[in-house]
A and B are shown apart, each in its own frame.
Chain A
């Protein structure tokens, strides 16, 4: 088998491969794109979602697993193919039907009930959150909308109506963290005493016996 000289770090740690392909195809219909004009696929949104599900969004794992299975069962019956194998036009028809609640199996009460909204919300997050989260590759999401990213601040000259800021270098969390290491004097340090650090900073949450695990709560967190 032929291997590249560098190691590829883009593997999936939660999704099975066909799940990743399905979610990536869906994200690609939510924010469509191509090489010249990148969308969610080019931004690597599926990697953002995979990482989130393996971590803070573990509560949504079942919704994705069941949602992808139900969606592919539907397209297989109707078109003889999995969702990601369909032409883009057919994918759009399916996503539209999903959004309108017309696909069987996505009813209220099932884990997949809010599947479209879930994938949509997480696609937008992966498109526009910092690249450190695994999406928004090469800051294509921020370039699309004209967002300069993690900027330390803006000058009066920059904050003028109609001013073209397209040449302002984009900053990511990684970039600003480098700045903070190199120029800590730019930042604020609180004067005066700081209480001693308690041995254990994070309270443990007791679990109630017999209670099912809930999806993460507010803000998808």
Chain B
């Protein structure tokens, strides 16, 4: 236990959240130790990242089950196994793996959808109770209102968009609906800092079909800049985006947007390739230090007056449980994920689905939970529906995106690859699971990581509300595909075989009531007053939007609070 460094603040995890905290707090004059289990990537590391096998199929930037095992079981009382969809020879979608490591974290290789939540999403229980009655909440569900509102976060959403770079078209400026934007979005104070990206080649067919059906298509917000900004260059539409670092700095990540200024303060010391394994709490019940293993395998301890966990919902939760911090039993509860409901098809002409970012495809939000006229919707929830016809490389197309009625080998397989990949398009959506008693995480009693720490165990299954939601959004996609003149369509199973999605929320939820939540509205632990847990783990309920922008807005909100109160 050598080392014994001390700083005002120790931050565990330098990813999409921790890097923001490091910069904000270092610039405010605090000394900060930034702990990161992965490396510090150099900007020229991604100059020639055009390699599907390396970054997507083999998921080089995501941890594997060898170093970061996670187990899963459908329900309490059934045996758990190491994520069965994440081991084996078949090429996998890295979305079904735990997220990445390294300074910048998942923000280096995310797809970049940068949604704000709707105002109603912050008061989900009240909104749904008013619309559908109390009896609409399924047994065992725990839908609540958030302890913070859209108005609380609006200035922080704005900061993320303007300090990191988001492209998009405003739909609602201070209450005034804007032509061509999302008419359902919450009011924003100013437009996006960058205009929308160029959409994928076949995007206009989607847009026309949606308009023909009475929907309101728009260019969604994407954290990829569409015009040059300082050293960062505008997107060049290479199509190696989701799972890849960016070769021109167009994609927004916290390594580029936060680290240079954070390091320039001289207040931040980074400890990379160091795995934090425990939070040590003293007799007064305060977090005193964290224990970690360095690159040489040696154990150390560093101390801080404040400790912040920003290592992703699941890893934050594992650290809490391993450290014995779960007095009210709420740590690990309310695990929530997305059902992506992949939908694919072919069009009569070439779609060039390999070109451009996936997130540049347009979307509709008429399918959100609060929109009127949702014919046949008999479930709680909703999602934007996104056109997905860029950034699809051939190994993915030849494996996980294959139509189920085509043989997987032989002449017909080959003929399909020749015909289908050229004409491929997709749609996708994100129906969220409800917070419930049934879905949670805890420590696996048997499986350990190579350092001897217990693996996290996920207990999760899909339920009736998930099935109804998936069925409904599938029908919407079929309607659009018909209108587009699709040759052929097919879809992933209604209820997916995976139970982790890199959009894993909850497990250390925020709330005013210390008995029913883990952190307060500023992400401060109810149990340990100088410990903060920041990230998607704090979400008390979930919605259909990609969570990163909201997570980062909350991060700025927490940083301001710490600066004010400390």
Contact = CB atoms under 8 A, between A and B. Distances in A.
Nearest to A171: B50
A206 B451 contact: yes
Given A145-B421, A218-B65, A159 B87 contact: no
B92 A219 contact: yes
B48 A154 contact: no
B232 to A, nearest CB: 6
Contacts of A201: 39, 273, 295
A212 to B, nearest CB: 13
Interface stretch (A6-14, A73-81, A121-129): A121-129
Given A147-B394, A195-B40, A161 B204 contact: yes
A100 interface: no
A163 B352 contact: yes
B352 A95 contact: no
A125 B57 contact: yes
A151 B107 CA distance: 22
Interface in A102-150: 114, 117-118, 120-122, 124-125, 127-130, 133, 141-142, 144-150
Contact of A219 (B91, B261, B273): B91
Contacts of A130: 50-53
A100 B221 CA distance: 46
Nearest to A141: B394
Interface in B271-296: 272-273, 275, 293-296
B270 interface: yes
Contacts of B67: 205
Contacts of A214: 66
A218 B87 contact: yes
B406 interface: no
A47 B381 CA distance: 49
A145 B397 contact: yes
Given A145-B421, A198-B295, A150 B57 contact: no
Given A151-B50, A163-B350, A128 B395 contact: yes
B89 A146 contact: no
A167 interface: no
A129 B349 contact: no
B327 interface: no
A156 B356 CA distance: 10
B92 A218 contact: yes
Contact of B66 (A114, A153, A162, A217): A217
Interface in B454-474: none
A220 B91 contact: yes
Nearest to B266: A193
Contacts of B62: 218-219
A184 B247 CA distance: 11
A128 B356 contact: no
Contacts of A133: 53
Interface string B79-103: 0000100111111101001000000
Contacts of A32: 410-411, 414
B397 A219 contact: no
Contacts of B273: 198, 200-203
Nearest to A135: B53
B286 to A, nearest CB: 29
A173 B204 contact: no
Interface residues of B, number: 94
Interface stretch (B127-135, B163-171, B234-242, B550-558): B234-242
Interface residues of A, number: 81
B410 A29 contact: yes
A60 interface: yes
A22 B414 CA distance: 20
B230 interface: yes
B352 A217 contact: no
B247 A60 contact: no
A206 B297 contact: yes
Contacts of B261: 192
Contact of B59 (A164, A206, A221): A221
Contact of B87 (A31, A153, A202, A217): A217
Contact of B246 (A118, A122, A188): A188
Interface in B392-430: 393-395, 397-399, 408-411, 413-414, 417-418, 421-422
Which of A39, A171, A189: most chain B Cβ within 10 A?
A189
B69 to A, nearest CB: 8
A190 B90 contact: no
Contacts of B489: none
B295 A173 contact: no
Determine which residue in B47, B204, B259, B261 has the highest number of CB atoms from chain A within 10 A of its CB, and name it.
Answer: B47
Given A152-B238, A217-B66, A161 B50 contact: no
Contacts of A114: 88-89
A177 interface: yes
A207 to B, nearest CB: 7
B237 A154 contact: yes
Contacts of B294: 203
Interface of A: 29-33, 39, 56, 60, 92, 95, 99, 114, 117-118, 120-122, 124-125, 127-130, 133, 141-142, 144-156, 158-165, 171, 173, 176-177, 180, 184, 186-195, 198, 200-208, 214-221
12 contacts: A32-B414, A142-B394, A153-B236, A187-B248, A192-B261, A192-B264, A200-B295, A204-B296, A216-B66, A218-B64, A218-B92, A219-B91
Given A31-B417, A219-B62, 14 more contacts: A39-B414, A60-B89, A121-B91, A128-B395, A148-B354, A150-B240, A171-B50, A188-B232, A200-B273, A208-B450, A218-B92, A220-B92, A221-B59, A221-B60
